[in-house]
């Protein structure tokens, strides 16, 4: 076994361990339960509402939209947050000093974040399948379609998140990433059809992956009757794939360059300087 293969194996093992730790840590488990509870509570109050011009449940239509938004949010802020925290506590510096350490580190974080996204999606989806019988009308095909959208969505968002994380100076800077993403959620048709918004707002939303990932999720989980409230009354599968692949290409092109740049700048002196600034803020 060569050093590169060993780094890949260690990265996968590290990712699995970090993922398991999130389900043995009480704070993380409570955070997951609170999110699921709040989401299901929101759907409960939407249970009697319908999509405009149809008899289809607005609550059922919201489920895939929120799943898509969650993948984008976790992919961007999760990857950026990991990098920012590990950069400040010296984890990245230690990985840099190990042969193929950055490769193993990045694979481990990708594994942990991907598993977290998958389990988060399952934790929300399973209760909703019992509440809304209209979801996944095509059975196995619906779930395969959902899995395909999920994989493309993760590839489209996690590299961008890593690129953004490499540009942050501290974990406190993650708020600068979180706020715009929340703004995108407000205009991307998550809780209400995007066609109810002004056309210029729709055009802005369609530039970013959140709208398209939500649309892809809706096309996988909703019946064809729900398509009447979409732009052009179509699921637009080819544009969805094209936009998500375009963002994936952008992320995969930018992330390695920015991560290498960040790794080159990591040194003991810069770590000590960040710790000193953190101690001054605490004091």
Please state the domain extents for the chain: 1-265
77-104, pLDDT tens digit by residue?
Answer: 888 888 877 777 777 777 777 777 777 8
Angle at 198 between CA 192 and CA 204, to 5 degrees: 90
What pLDDT is recorded for position 116?
Answer: 86
What pLDDT is recorded for position 274?
Answer: 60
Q: Which pTM value belongs to this model?
A: 0.85
Say if CB 209 and CB 243 are below 8 A apart: yes
What is the three-state SS of 133-150? CCCCCCCHHHHHHHHHHH
Give the closest residue to 190 by CA, choosing from 78, 27, 49, 67. Answer: 67
What pLDDT is recorded for position 268?
Answer: 63
Positive or negative, the CA dihedral 130, 132, 134, 137 is negative
Q: What is the mean pLDDT of residues 218-237?
A: 89
CA atoms within 13 A on the CB side of 74: 25
Average pLDDT over the chain, rounded to whole? 83
Say yes or no to pLDDT of 264 above 80: no
């Amino acid at each position: 076994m060569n050093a590169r293969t060993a780094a890949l194996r260690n990265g996968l093992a590290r990712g699995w361990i970090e993922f398991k730790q999130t389900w043995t840590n009480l704070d993380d488990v409570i955070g997951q339960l609170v999110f699921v509870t709040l989401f299901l509570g929101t759907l409960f109050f939407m249970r009697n509402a319908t999509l405009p011009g149809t008899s289809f449940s607005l609550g059922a239509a919201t489920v895939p939209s929120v799943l898509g938004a969650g993948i984008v949010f976790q992919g961007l802020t999760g990857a950026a947050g990991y990098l920012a925290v590990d950069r400040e506590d010296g984890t990245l510096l230690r990985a840099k000093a190990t042969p193929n350490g950055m490769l193993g580190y990045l694979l481990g974080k990708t594994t942990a974040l991907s598993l977290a996204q998958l389990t988060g999606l399952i934790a929300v989806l399973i209760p909703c399948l019992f509440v809304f019988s209209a979801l996944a009308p095509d059975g196995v095909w619906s779930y395969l379609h959902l899995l395909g959208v999920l994989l493309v969505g993760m590839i489209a968002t996690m590299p961008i998140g890593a690129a953004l994380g490499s540009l942050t100076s501290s974990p406190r800077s993650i708020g600068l990433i979180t706020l715009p993403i929340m703004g995108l959620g407000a205009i991307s048709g998550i809780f209400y059809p995007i066609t109810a918004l002004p056309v210029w707002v729709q055009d802005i939303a369609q530039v970013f992956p959140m709208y398209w990932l939500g649309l892809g999720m809706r096309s996988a989980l909703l019946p064809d009757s729900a398509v009447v409230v979409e732009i052009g009354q179509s699921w637009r599968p080819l544009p969805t794939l094209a936009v998500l692949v375009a963002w994936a290409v952008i992320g995969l092109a930018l992330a390695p360059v920015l991560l290498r740049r960040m790794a080159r700048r990591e040194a003991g002196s810069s770590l000590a300087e960040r710790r000193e600034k953190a101690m001054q803020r605490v004091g």
